[in-house]
Amino acid sequence: MNPVRTLCLVLALQAAACLPAIAQSARSLRQEAPAAPSSPTEAPPPYEPQILRLAEIMGALSYLRDLCGDRDGSVWRGRMSALLEAEAQTETRKERLAGAYNRGFRGFETTYRTCTPNAQLVINRYLDEGGKIARDVQNRFGGG
> pLDDT tens digits, residue range 55-102?
999 999 999 999 999 999 999 999 999 999 999 889 999 999 999 999
Q: Give the SS3 label for residue 72.
A: coil
> For the chain, how far is it from start to end, CA to CA, in angstroms?
33
**Is 36's pLDDT higher than 70?**
no
**Is 129's pLDDT higher than 90?**
yes
Model confidence at 24, pLDDT cuts 50, 70, 90, reads: low
**Is 35's pLDDT higher than 70?**
no
16-35 burial code (b ≥16 CB/10 A, e <16): bebbeebbebbeeeeeeeee
- Which of residues 132 and 144 earns the better pLDDT score? 132
Tally of CA atoms within 13 A in the half-sphere of 127 that contains its CB: 19
Q: Look at residue 125 in the predicted model and tell me its pLDDT.
A: 97
Helix, strand, coil % over all residues of the chain, rounded to 5: 75, 0, 25
